Amino acid sequence: MKAVILAGGFGSRLSEMTYLTPKPMLEIGENPIIWHIMRIYSHHGINDFIVCLGYKGDVIKEYFLNYFQHNSDVTVDLGKNTVEFHRQPELNWRVTLVDTDLNTQTGGRLKRIGSYLDDEPFCMTYGDAVADLDISAVIAQHERCGTLATVTAVRPIGRFGAITTSGDTVIEFKEKPVAEGGWINGGFFVLSPKVLDFIDGDDTIWERRPLIEITKLGQLSVYRHDGFWQCMDTLRDKRLLDELWETPNPPWRMWDQRA
């Protein structure tokens, strides 16, 4: 199965950091967030990726074209004009990098990579969120429901502490509880290639008419994820992910727990 990652947006809410670097390349620890997302998929046996490029797409291309240089020790012999890589990362990823144009919307980016897809279902997510998600369970639910699309629903952590009162007395305080109310689109879709038929062109936003029409047909199923999920929309989100990565076992690091 292939995994498609939408990585072409402008990242305008992180403009102080995305002026020169596309959001999927902003680092958590020593690696860009797109690497973390790919490690989550790879942990569940998905190693064939299609990355939809747009804003600063050349930065993402450069990273993967020179992946060993970025992630290995290197001996450069100037006399022999040779380069030897040491301690190379043991990853068997196949990464297809597709320029889907600068101003193309999310649906349009999906439409543009149609020729790189097989006739089988594929995974799709955004290039700015990580989770301790059981990808295999999402795929299994998609197969069980037999729908055109499956979306992962999440309930993000609240941004502020919640206070419950009785009169003038606080009777319960929860620091950053899970947000109450409805579930939200957490990405991590499983899709039939037939969903591309609902996308008109570059100006189509995937989350609007295509998903609405698929829902009206009863062809959108949901996988509810009660665990960790965090997007990187703001500088505050970026700092939170950086702090979590420095803990002994970051919640989304399922592939190689440190302890």
Q: Does 175 map to a domain?
A: no
Q: Does 253 map to a domain?
A: no
- Under a CB-based contact definition with an 8 Å cutoff, are residues 25 and 51 in contact? no
Q: Does 134 map to a domain?
A: yes
Domain that holds residue 205: 2-156+182-245
Handedness of CA 138, 144, 147, 148 (dihedral sign): positive
Handedness of CA 108, 114, 132, 145 (dihedral sign): positive
Q: pTM value?
A: 0.90
Q: What CA–CA distances, in Å, run from 145 to 10, 21, 84, 139, 148?
A: 35, 39, 50, 10, 9
What is the pLDDT, as a whole number, of residue 110? Answer: 98
Give the pLDDT means over successive 10-residue stretches in the chain (259 positions).
96 89 95 97 97 97 92 92 86 96 97 96 97 97 94 78 49 55 86 97 95 93 93 94 94 78
Q: Does 196 map to a domain?
A: yes
Length of the chain: 259
* Amino acid symbol at 256: D
Please name the residues in contact with 160: beta carbons below 8 A apart, sequence gap of 6 or more.
176
What is the pLDDT, as a whole number, of residue 171? Answer: 42
Q: Does 173 map to a domain?
A: no
Number of domains in the chain: 1
Q: Does 167 map to a domain?
A: no
Q: How far apart are CA 87 and CA 74, in angstroms?
A: 9
Q: How far apart are CA 246 and CA 1, in angstroms?
A: 32
Q: Does 162 map to a domain?
A: no
Q: Return the beta strands (E) in 27-118 as ranges.
A: 27-28, 31-32, 48-53, 73-77, 82-86, 94-99
Q: Does 9 map to a domain?
A: yes
The CATH number of the domain holding residue 102 is 3.90.550.10
